[in-house]
Amino acid sequence: MTNLQPAEFDSHAAGYDGGMGNPLKAMAGENLDDFVAVKVRWLLRRWPDLATRADLSILDYGCGAATLPRLLRAAGVQARLTGTDVSTGMLAEARRTWPADSPPPAFHVQDGVATGLPSDSFDLIIISAVLHHVPLNQRAAVYQELHRLLRPGGRLVVFEHNPWNPVTSYVVAHSPIDRDAILLPPPEVKSALSTTGWREVRAGHLMFLPPRLGALATAAERLFGWLPMGGQYAVTASK
């Protein structure tokens, strides 16, 4: 399958750093890995068996430079990994930066929202920091594609920037990679999933303190995970 249209992120792909040029973001964490690692720890706290089950199949939809799958692997996750994206440039960066001593995920370029991958093929699908780049009129089609790809009983995790957090809103408003972003508050994701056939739709909240603060930031997340004021949020759902 080929995506003939140049994608927005092709121009950000070489040396992709997730907008670390923003001074506030650079104060909060050392590099993009610091921010994505918060999501990896959150996933492993919620589903500790992810670390031990080699039989699982995980899709990172809109994987970009594959930071999240790379950190999942570094955290000991043995599952089969797949990454898809509309940007051939970002997928090239993912391949270029994947560690030589670790088998890479299967990477696939999307044709718009469509992956072309078989139905019911993943136990866990993660879509992280992607939906705010998807035009409003294509978001329902993304939810449908993810629903098609997930196995019955599988889990979806949507990670998004929280527009109710003033620091997040400020950083997004001042980041070149987010020039065309339209942020979604948690209820938008919850209601979109609830009305497109997903079950057990729930929101959780993360990144209350800068990732640079390490264990203190994790402790804050454990205490305040119910409060919709974190820098990021996660909506989980099942099929």
Ligand X SMILES: C[S@@+](CC[C@H](N)C(=O)[O-])C[C@H]1O[C@@H](n2cnc3c(N)ncnc32)[C@H](O)[C@@H]1O
Residue that the structure tokens 């391949």 belong to: 95
Q: Which stretch binds ligand X (CB under 6 A): 22-30, 59-67, 168-176, 198-206?
A: 59-67
Q: What would the two tokens of residue 45 be?
A: 């706290």
Nearest distance in Å: CB 178, ligand X: 8
Residue 239 exposure: Cα atoms within 13 Å on the Cβ side: 22
Which residues lie closer than 8 Å to 137 by C-beta, 6 or more apart?
A: none
Q: Which is nearer to ligand X, 52 or 102 (CB)?
A: 102
- H or E element that contains 36: helix 32-46
Nearest distance in Å: CB 235, ligand X: 15
Residue in 77, 81, 129, 149 binding ligand X, rule: CB under 6 A? 129
CA distance 163 to 230: 10
Based on the shown chain and the rule CB under 6 A, indicate whether residue 109 belongs to the binding site for ligand X.
Answer: no
Give the CA angle between residues 81, 206, 140 to the nearest 5°. Answer: 60
Q: Which is nearer to ligand X, 99 or 153 (CB)?
A: 99
CA distance 33 to 50: 19
Residue in 28, 40, 63, 149 binding ligand X, rule: CB under 6 A? 63
Based on the shown chain and the rule CB under 6 A, indicate whether residue 67 belongs to the binding site for ligand X.
Answer: yes
CA distance 204 to 199: 16
180-219 residues in contact with ligand X (CB under 6 A) are none
Residue in 37, 38, 71, 86 binding ligand X, rule: CB under 6 A? 86
Residues of this chain that interact with ligand X (CB under 6 A) are 7, 9, 18, 36, 61-64, 67-68, 85-87, 90, 110, 113, 128-130, 133-134, 142
